[in-house]
Amino acid sequence: MTTFRALFIFILSLLYVPISQADDHANLKFSPGAKSVQTLPKTSQTETVNQSSTVDLEIEALWKNLDKKWVNTNDEDCQQWSTWLPEQGLRGFLCQLKIPLSKLEKWSKQAIFLTGPHFNGHLDFTSKVQFGHYNPEFVNWLHKHLIPAARSPAFRALTQPWYDRYMQRLARTFYVTHEQLFADLNYLEQEKNTYLELLNSKQLPDFYAESAYWNFGNLEAKGFSNYEIAMTTLFWIRRIIDGTEDEFFAGLKTLMETYDMGFTVEHQRVTIQISQTQQVHLYPPVFTFEVLGNPVTIAQSEVIRVQQLKIYQNQSAIPFQTIDNIEVKSSATQGLILEDVNFDGYLDIRLLKDTDGKQKRYLYWFFDPVWKQFFSNQVFEEMNAPWFDPITKTVNSHWELNSNLRGIDEYRYQDDQLQLIKQEIYHLVSLPDQEVPLTISSVLRERTEGKGLVLSEQTVHRGSAKWEEFQTHFCAVAVCSNQ
């Protein structure tokens, strides 16, 4: 089966921050390693509006005059971009565009790069030890301002010919190489680490992109340029490293959905959407959970080999948290559950990790109301088919030693520790001297002093009626071996 990304989106209204803090944390985004960017002096609201309007008009004029810019390009225009292919690649595109970097920084009021070999307007594409790390604020500005047609159908119709002639090929290449890379997150991680190792060891070979990704994903057979396949593939790997991949791809999707919707729909990821709304005691922002992985078929069931979980807030195109390296096979329709598993008033994440028909165990991420993030927690991972009761604040774990011996363990938090407080066991026994089987039910309870369990009651039932009654309840929650 051709590898491709599969994802399902679970949209949930729930509250993770008190009302008084909602505005303060609505745009909170963790960017480990990101450096601060000097902010500009404050301006009045009128000045800001006027400056923004002027820039937007200049950008619209740029789009309207693209044809003139391309026709009048000469070799001198491309010197700063160090490209010998002015008709191909991102550098060739920027060369044809004829916009100095200083103008982009003036428009955006942001530095384009945070770190790297580019400084004082000089672009160094020859470095073997570093590359330019984009400023996320600048990339965000690009997304918001550089596609005016996204806000105006009339402007889209006016500029559609220029997109088709000058941007379509490169935009499509960026799109398909991104999707190919993210179809195999293990490969992406491997290539990222290889590139970083070559930089750190100062052993990056000449023409690395061409040698490593010349026909990445066999995209040449689909009509894409080898040079642009190589350049865009390395571009996305670099963006993963500098932390701007999400914002760049969000901008690319906006561009494609504005001018190239047919191609976007044809090459979009397989998506299953499940919507559920739950009301909790505080004001709920909307969280979107996007599970990414590769589809597989196990016992004629639709299963996703999950590799990554992205979490968005309030319909943002940029995730506020990404959970990587998951690597489990989960149900495509019932794998993701949002539930308050530690009874702290905040919903947590659990993701089904066993799909072999024998166990129903999950991975867990608890929501931390202080950090406003989900953190992995293993306390329930070995429990089979756990049942969380918000009324009694207990957790039931269902276990099976064989098809005739099953039980339920009941846990409760005591002093922030999960304690086993009760064990219910049912055993169906067939004895040689008995015409019908016996059902033995036993209940063990916590000792008064809270140390271990002791047998509290035991009953022997003639026949299997009690066993069948218990099994009906048990098998509705857990996986039963005789089903």
| Residue 344 within a domain | yes
Same domain flag for 374 and 403: no
How many domains is the chain partitioned into structurally?
3
**Least confident window among 22-36, 131-145, 312-326, 441-455:** 22-36
| Residue 320 within a domain | yes
Cα dist from 264 to 4, 231, 260, whole Å: 15, 21, 6
Stretch (H or E) spanning 351:
strand 348-352
CA-based Rg of the chain, rounded to a whole angstrom? 29
Mean pLDDT of the chain: 76
Same domain flag for 243 and 335: no
Average the pLDDT over 411-422 and give the result.
88
Residue (of 181, 156, 162) closest to 248 by Cα position:
181
In the structure, what pLDDT confidence band is assigned to residue 36 with cuts at 50, 70 and 90? very low
Structure tokens at 311: 């979490």
pLDDT for res 20: 30
| Residue 42 within a domain | no
Query: Is the per-residue pLDDT at 420 higher than 80?
Result: yes
pLDDT for res 123: 73
Query: Is the per-residue pLDDT at 225 higher than 60?
Result: yes
Helix, strand, coil share (%) of the chain residues, nearest 5: 40, 25, 35
Boundaries of domain holding 113: 48-267
Same domain flag for 176 and 224: yes
Same domain flag for 103 and 251: yes
Please identify, among 238, 267, 296, the residue that sits at the C-terminal boundary of a domain.
267
CB atoms inside a 10 Å sphere around CB 387:
14
Which residues is 323 bridged to in the sheet?
309
For residue 442, report the phi and psi dihedrals to the nearest 5 degrees: -130, 145
Extract the runs of DSSP E, i.e. beta strands, from 276-318: 286-298, 301-313
Q: Report how far residue 483's alpha carbon sits from residue 471's, in angstroms, rounded to the nearest whole number.
A: 11
Same domain flag for 258 and 294: no
Say if residues 116 and 126 touch (Cβ distance below 8 Å): no
Same domain flag for 164 and 222: yes
| Residue 169 within a domain | yes
